[in-house]
Amino acid sequence: MINYNPKEWFTFIFRVHKSDTVRQLMPMIISLSIYVALVAFLEIQVFNLGENSHLKNITILHGMLGFVISLLLVFRTNTAYERWWEGRKLWGSLTNTSRNLAMKINAVLPKDDELNRTFFKEHIVEYAFALKRHLRGHQRESEVFQSNVIIDHELHKPNHIAALMYTRLNDLYNQKIISGTQLLFLNEEFRAFTDICGACERIKNTPIPFSYSVFIKKFIFFYVMSLPFGYVFSLGYIAVPIVVFVFYVLASLEIIAEEIENPFGVDDNDLPLTMMSKNIQKHVGEIL
């Protein structure tokens, strides 16, 4: 995720960073510029179409379709941002749940029980890192506790770690180290782990419907490709930068929506899951 100062207007305007849509769209911008210039040349120089041509009336259609495409893109970007923001809220809940569980474990365990304290400290932290790797689709050995947290690579890693903590908690109850009331007291946080994991998986595994995404792309393409036929009559060769700018705005909105609709990836605008996992590691370590 990019950290920035939202008050620096001129920095945003004149700096091109690697996540800027200009970089991604540059080949299409160049191709579109050539296309619009060719259409302008044919209409003005070759066919010598004047103001009496019916093609000039196509701008009326563009005005109506522009309103429709604007509504579609507003809905598209709002839906993508809602998914991004929900993902951020879920990881905020994971941070709070990890803190609360660590504080409760710290309260119910005997002060001299270093073995169980270390177990829960490592596994609470490892749950966050395992969920991060699970959502990004790449699992490997623990990034934090290489020798202590042993996970079967064939298993669902977050569920496996939660199950290990559940088992240890039940063992503490059977050994009379914690009471039944304390067991219920701790259960809420363990349940929250699984709820958060399931909600994150729902966001990741449920993309925008294919037909909807394809329709928007086709709509933008045909809308932009038809623009020069009408605007060349009133703008001449100035239609080249105008049409390119319209395409840049429309296509950029679609690209931004595609990038943020899965907030758990590694794109520049995705959530900083590694940083949030390290914050959990720091806070749980301080408590336990």
Q: What is the structure's pLDDT at 147?
A: 43
- Same domain membership, residue 201 and residue 281: yes
Q: Who contacts 277 (Cβ-Cβ below 8 Å, separation ≥6)?
A: 125, 128, 129, 132
- Same domain membership, residue 282 and residue 161: yes
Give me 283's structure tokens.
Answer: 């806070």
- Same domain membership, residue 166 and residue 25: no
- Same domain membership, residue 131 and residue 78: no
For 21-73, the pLDDT digits (tens) are 788 888 899 999 999 999 888 877 766 665 555 566 677 777 788 888 888 88
- Same domain membership, residue 147 and residue 28: no
Lowest mean pLDDT among 74-83, 99-108, 136-145, 213-222: 136-145
What are φ and ψ of residue 249, in 5° steps?
-65, -50
- Same domain membership, residue 279 and residue 175: yes
Q: Which of 208, 225, 138, 124 is nearest to 168 (CA)?
A: 124
- Same domain membership, residue 65 and residue 120: no
Q: Does 161 fall in a domain? A: yes
The rounded percent of the chain whose pLDDT value lies above 70 is 83
What average pLDDT is seen over the chain?
84
CA distance to 112, 175, 180, per residue, from 108 (Å): 12, 14, 12
For 239-280, the pLDDT digits (tens) are 899 999 999 999 999 888 888 888 998 877 888 999 999 999
Between these two residues, 48 and 129, which has the higher pLDDT value? 129
Residue with tokens 């996970």: 151
Q: What is the structure's pLDDT at 5?
A: 55
What residue numbers bound the domain in which 170 lies? 93-206+273-287
